[in-house]
Chain A
Amino acid sequence: MPNLRQQRTRNFCIIAHIDHGKSTLADRLLELTGALSEREMEDQVLDTMELERERGITIKAQAVRLTYKYKDGEEYTLNLIDTPGHVDFTYEVSKSLAACEGALLVVDASQGIQAQTLANLYLALEHNLEIIPVINKIDLPGAQPDWVKKQIEDVIGLDTENAPLISAKNATGIDAVLDKIIEMIPPPVGDDEAPLRALIFDSFYDNYRGVIAYIRVKEGTIRPGDRIMIMSNGKEFEVSDVGVFRPFLSPVEELRAGDVGYIAAGIKNVRDTRVGDTITHADRPAPEPLPGYKKLQPMVYCGIYPAEGAKYEDLRDALEKLQLNDASLVFEPETSVALGFGFRCGFLGLLHMEIIQERLEREFDLDLVTTAPSVIYRVLKTDGEMVEVSNPTNLPPPVEIDHIEEPRVSVQIFSPDTYVGPIMELCQERRGEYKQMEYIEGNRVLITYEMPLNEIIYDFFDALKSRTRGYASFDYEYIGYKEADLVKLDILLSGDVVDALSTIVHRDKAYAKGRAIAQKLKEVIPRQLFEVPIQAAIGNKIIARETVKALRKDVLAKCYGGDITRKKKLLERQKEGKRRMRQIGSVEVPQEAFMAVLKIN
């Protein structure tokens, strides 16, 4: 039975599709409960990263404590836990959900439920959360609240009769949402006196205090000075402070079962406090950790190299700093003949990869060369050994390979039925295997394909958007490995294999891809003093060939009436351009050549 404090506490999160108004609603909740003075009020407080704002997505979970006086005259503590809104971060979402007892399902009154919302919603249902549907954007001219309500009932079977109809933008209906939270979401339970079990659902690194871990106390009580232990690795720390989010970190004396808050314990490494882990007391440990901790497996890998070799250490520092706040990012040093020293980085998915690349470039001002993203292939060798390959260069020689398996995903695409043709065409091109199609409601369909992950890791989403005028959305889920006829496609410049340009492709696509890459390289590699043959090869077999002709003319006609400085500056600019190129054997290759290869279909 919940105690009195617990009875006055609600822990909830918001599930919504990008753009359906999650952040705006969160802002309104903060405003209405007075969590922030107007002066402190900044649009969309919860999405703090610049990148998050720009993309309109939440990458990291955030939390905030609200105080609301319900009509029974009592003050309630409402902990809002924001969840990442993208499939790449499913695991983090599931941990955020595990910290709550209920969720607001926010749906745009003009668009209805989208694929990614569904995925998170199912997760929430798996966690036995109480779901409150909230229909947002009812102020829009295209709003069809009744249609959306019916859709929610049809698709998920939720009762929507009392669903609040709101406009977060205009701040209408927000009271009703707060009331529903108190009425419908069950209070947390758990014994304050039991051995401590607190779930880490997020963390970030603070330069002064070390790791700040976001926790939900399930059982027991935690106070400053307590000696704690991380249950997955047995590491012990002393708690320096505990606190809550108002929304800024604000210390409290203790956090008890049912509370959401943070702790700092002089932890220097985010990897010691991974999301999903359980904190207990060192001197009175809980017998079992909370369920569900798993080590995240990166799905997509790519090589990241500094454009200037000298920036290698800077890149390492930057990756380490990002990793402090993002334990799911993995990297290890890697050396490429073409690109020098860099890192092979693993990501949860494509968006994660793009975000990390962008943050490296923006926040750390690094110029990067990125190799084509790759999945992890399982190579079964003739001697019975199995090796996992995430860098095409490391593929064993063909004679040692019995067969190769690639990871596959189940892809779910939501779209108006007008675009079924183009979508199927796209999926077939990407080696998709049609599974099923169903009408969700009206003219919206859900198409399911099984596809190699490799086929969707670069530009599938862009292709899908362009073929459906932006109407389709998609989601994917890992399903397992399957054998495929895969080959390593090498690119040779002046007869030498350029390791950073090697890719693993399906045999049927190798010829077209080889030709396209060779042609693209011909465009981007400038003429050099000598002719540069470009070849695409599978093993020893050349499948495409192009030539960059030798530079014919690189000389100034005149010397500008004694203006030697001008000529020298021209040469210096030319030299600077050359410095930015990669020397591969005798060939100078511009950075964009490596990118160009990514953009080939």
Chain B
Amino acid sequence: MRNIGLYLHFPFCLRKCYYCDFLSYQGMKEWIEPYINALCTELREWKQHLSDCRVQTIYLGGGTPTIISAEKLAYVLDVCTSSFHVQENAEITIEGNPGTIRREQLSLLKRAGVNRLSIGLQAWQAKHLETLGRIHGSEDFVNSVDMARNAGFDNINVDVMFGLPDQTLDEWMETLNRVCMLGIEHVSMYSLKVEEGTMLHTWFSQGKICLPTHEEDRNMYYSGRDFLCQHGLEQYEISNFALPGRESSHNLIYWNNEEYIGCGNGAHSHFNNERFSNLSHIKDYIDAVITGTSRIEYRERISEADQRFETIMLNLRMVKGISKKSFAQRFGKDIHYYYGDVIRKLVDKKLLVEDEEYIRLTLRGMDVQNSVLLEFMD
């Protein structure tokens, strides 16, 4: 059986955050029902193609999946389990935002098989939450964690961001401290990236907000990394930290360059050496599913050379790096056959280290991963 991950997209939010450039819509509640129907149709259509696959992880992402009723979400999961071979104890994650998470909903989801909750906190301080356009306060977050624990969730991730406009190191450390005080199992800490087309971008170009320098950004990153490690959350990926054994299996599928199917509008898949994505616009997506026309927006065959590069690009996100053995098994030849000179050069520059089993980024290499990858692109 081939192992795959399954990603389900829920593009609805109560409000669009000011930094968000993901596919999600605010105030389109009337679209939820037809969308869920289309999503379930798509899932059923996949059934025949995935008969030899074992679904190891399911990830309900968004958007804010938790603004959808637990009954509907449970129904979708039901379609998954009845259509695919979902592995027993599969990691099933749902993303949710404080302020939309409700007690009864959590219990129902837990019963439906959801065993991991990913909460978007982003920052502790009200002023930063406001700048980011979040709808919640820190007390909503504490309540959400509390409710999740009561509902039996023992695997919780919290998303936090640093490098926010006018954020001080102390504020950042307070955010992390609050998270750690709650005994969270997994933390994703992201450096804020101001994407084009977002409110923050507009404000930034108008000079209304001011971002930290790269030096300040890195200081927050280093301090955050040290702090989380001190609290037992080990870094296993550039932005991800977990108690031992609580790493995100779903994300590891991405970073190991393995196969996954994404369902819903704009969702991306990697399957049979192809990468493809669904139509982004929710209406186009639903129409395509209903009329049975192609719902594919983008499709690309990945050449073997590209597969090698993508493997390196993704593996190097992980602290353990590229497994030389896996690489050789997958591509038939030792990694040095393809990239010997580059690796030597980068090791000389102290951006990579190599041991018997792995090739990984140094701490410095992690700060400049893109520059490192560019070297592999020649």
Point out residues on A near B: beta carbons under 8 Å.
527, 529, 551-565, 567-568, 570-572, 574-575, 578
B260 interfacial contact with A, CB 8 Å:
yes
> Do residues A564 and B268 form an inter-chain contact, with CB atoms below 8 A?
yes
B260 contact from A560, A562, A565, Cβ within 8 A: A562
B residues in contact with A565, CB < 8 Å = 268, 275, 277, 298, 300
Inter-chain CA distance A64–B193, complex, in Å, is: 64
Closest residue on chain A to residue B346 by CB atoms: A529
Q: CB of B270 within 8 A of chain A? A: yes
Would A554 and B369 be within 8 Å (CB), given that A562-B270, A564-B268, A574-B374 are in contact? Answer: yes
Closest to B217 in A: A553
In the complex, the answer to whether B374 meets A563 with C-beta atoms within 8 Å is: no
Give the distance to chain A from B110, nearest Cβ to Cβ, in Å: 23
A-B contact pairs, 18 of them (CB 8 A): A552-B367, A553-B368, A555-B367, A555-B369, A556-B370, A559-B254, A559-B314, A561-B7, A562-B254, A562-B267, A564-B313, A565-B268, A565-B277, A565-B298, A568-B309, A571-B370, A571-B377, A578-B374
State the Cβ distance, A551 to closest chain B Cβ, in Å.
6
B373 nearest in chain A by CB position: A571
**Contacts beyond the supplied A556-B193, A564-B310: 11 A-B pairs with Cβ under 8 Å:** A552-B218, A555-B370, A556-B369, A556-B370, A557-B190, A558-B239, A559-B254, A559-B314, A563-B277, A567-B313, A574-B370
Please, which residues of chain A bring their CB within 8 A of the CB of B115? none
* Whole-angstrom distance between the Cβ of B83 and the nearest chain A Cβ: 20
| A575 in complex: contacting residue of B7, B268, B275, B374, CB < 8 Å | B374
Given A558-B239, A565-B268, are A529 and B351 also a contact pair (CB < 8 Å)?
yes
Of the candidates B9, B191, B262, which one forms a contact with A553 in the assembled complex, judged by CB atoms under 8 Å apart? B191
Instruction: Using CB atoms, name the residue of chain A closest to B189.
Output: A557
Q: At the interface, yes or no: B349 with Cβ under 8 Å from chain A?
A: yes
For residue A574, give the distance in angstroms from its CB to the closest CB of chain B: 6
Nearest Cβ on chain B to A461's Cβ, whole angstroms = 35
CB–CB A555/B217 < 8 A: no
Chain A nearest CB, measured from B213 CB (Å): 8
Please tell me if the beta carbons of A557 and B314 are within 8 angstroms of each other in the complex: no
Q: Which of A558, A561, A570, A578 contacts B268 (CB 8 A)?
A: A561
With most chain B CB atoms within 10 A of its CB, the pick from A558, A561, A562, A564 is: A562
Minimum C-beta distance from B316 to chain A (A): 10
Q: Are B275 and A555 in contact (CB under 8 A)?
A: no
Contact B215 A552 (CB under 8 A): yes
Q: Does chain A have a CB within 8 A of B39?
A: no
A562 to B269, CA, bound (A): 7
Is the C-beta of B294 less than 8 angstroms from some C-beta in chain A? no
Identify the closest chain A residue to B218 (Cβ): A552
Q: Once the chains are docked, how many angstroms separate the CA of A561 from the CA of B118?
A: 13
Contact B190 A558, beta carbon cutoff 8 Å: yes
Shortest Cβ distance from A559 into B: residue: B254
Knowing A558-B239, A561-B268, say if A568 contacts B367 (CB, 8 Å): no
Task: Check A564 against B270 for contact (C-beta < 8 Å).
Answer: yes
Is B22 engaged at the interface, CB distance under 8 Å to the other chain? yes
Q: Which of the listed residues A552, A555, A565, A570 has the most CB atoms from chain B within 10 Å of its own CB?
A: A555
Docked complex Cα distance between A299 and B160 (Å): 64
Cα A564 to Cα B314 in complex, Å, equals 9
Judge whether B61 is part of the interface by a CB distance below 8 angstroms.
yes
- In the complex, the answer to whether A555 meets B366 with C-beta atoms within 8 Å is yes
Asked whether, in the complex, the Cβ of A554 is within 8 Å of the Cβ of B371, the reply is yes
Minimum C-beta distance from A460 to chain B (A): 36
Residues of B within 8 A of A (CB): 7, 9, 22, 61, 188, 190-193, 214-215, 217-218, 221, 238-239, 251, 254-255, 260, 262, 267-270, 275, 277, 298, 300, 309-310, 313-314, 317, 349, 351, 366-371, 373-374, 377
Q: Are B368 and A555 in contact (CB under 8 A)?
A: yes
Q: Which residues of A contact B214 (CB under 8 A)?
A: 527, 551-553
Docked-complex contact B22 and A561, CB < 8 angstroms = yes
Chain B residues with CB under 8 A of A567:
313
CA distance A553 to B365 in the complex (A): 10
B299 to chain A, nearest CB (A): 10
- Measured in the bound complex, the distance between the Cα atoms of B9 and A563 in whole Å is 13
Among A551, A557, A570, point to the contact of B368 (Cβ < 8 A): A551
C-alpha spacing A561/B370, complex, angstroms = 18
Chain B residue at minimum C-beta to C-beta distance from A586: B349
Min CB gap A264→B, angstroms? 51
CA gap between A560 and B368 in the complex, in Å: 18
CB distance from A475 to the nearest CB of B (A): 46
Which of the residues B260, B270, B317, B349 comes within 8 Å of A529, measured between beta carbons?
Answer: B349
Rounded to whole angstroms, the CA-CA distance of A557 and B368 in the bound complex is 11
Nearest to A565 among chain B residues (CB) is: B275
Chain B residues with Cβ below 8 Å from A553 are 191, 214, 217-218, 221, 367-368
Partner of A568, one of B221, B238, B269, B310: B310
* Chain A residue at minimal CB-CB distance from B238: A555
Report, nearest first, the 5 A-B pairs whose CB atoms are least far apart: A552-B214, A557-B190, A555-B369, A554-B368, A553-B214
- Interchain CB contact under 8 A, B371 and A529: yes
CB distance from B270 to the nearest CB of A (A): 7
The reply to whether B61 and A561 form a contact with Cβ atoms under 8 Å apart is yes
Chain A residues with CB under 8 Å of B366's CB are 555
- B370 contacts which chain A residues (CB < 8 A)? 554-556, 570-571, 574
Which residues of the partner chain B approach A568 to less than 8 Å between Cβ atoms?
309-310, 313
Bound: A556/B377 CA distance, A: 17
In the assembly, what is the distance between CA of A570 and CA of B268, in Å? 17
| B192 to chain A: closest residue by CB | A557
Residues of B within 8 A of A556 (CB): 193, 369-370
What residue of chain A has the Cβ atom nearest to residue B21's Cβ? A560
A556 to B270, CA, bound (A): 20
Question: With the chains together, A557 CA to B221 CA distance in Å?
Answer: 11
Which residues of chain A come closer than 8 Å to B371, judged between CB atoms? Answer: 529, 551, 554
B251 proximity list for chain A (CB < 8 A): 559
Q: Name which residue of chain A comes closest to B351, CB basis.
A: A529
Q: Give A529 to B368 CA distance when docked, in angstroms.
A: 8
Determine the distance from Cα of A571 to Cα of B374 in the docked complex, in whole angstroms.
Answer: 7
A86 to B268, CA, bound (A): 62
Most B CB contacts (10 A, CB to CB) among A551, A559, A572 go to: A559
In the complex, how many angstroms separate the beta carbon of B65 from the nearest chain A beta carbon?
12
Shortest Cβ distance from residue B372 to the other chain A in the assembled complex, whole angstroms? 9
Cβ distance B238 to chain A, nearest Cβ, rounded Å: 6
In whole angstroms, what is the CA distance A559 to B310 when docked?
A: 12
CA distance A254 to B214 in the complex (A): 77
- On whether the beta carbons of B7 and A562 are closer than 8 Å, the reply is yes
CA A527 to CA B218, docked complex, whole Å: 15
A562 CB to closest chain B CB (Å) equals 4
B310 close to A554 (CB less than 8 A): no
Cβ contact within 8 Å between B313 and A557: no
Query: Which residue, B270, B317, B366, B374, has most C-beta atoms of chain A within 10 A?
Result: B374
User: Which residue of B has the minimal Cβ distance to A577?
Assistant: B374
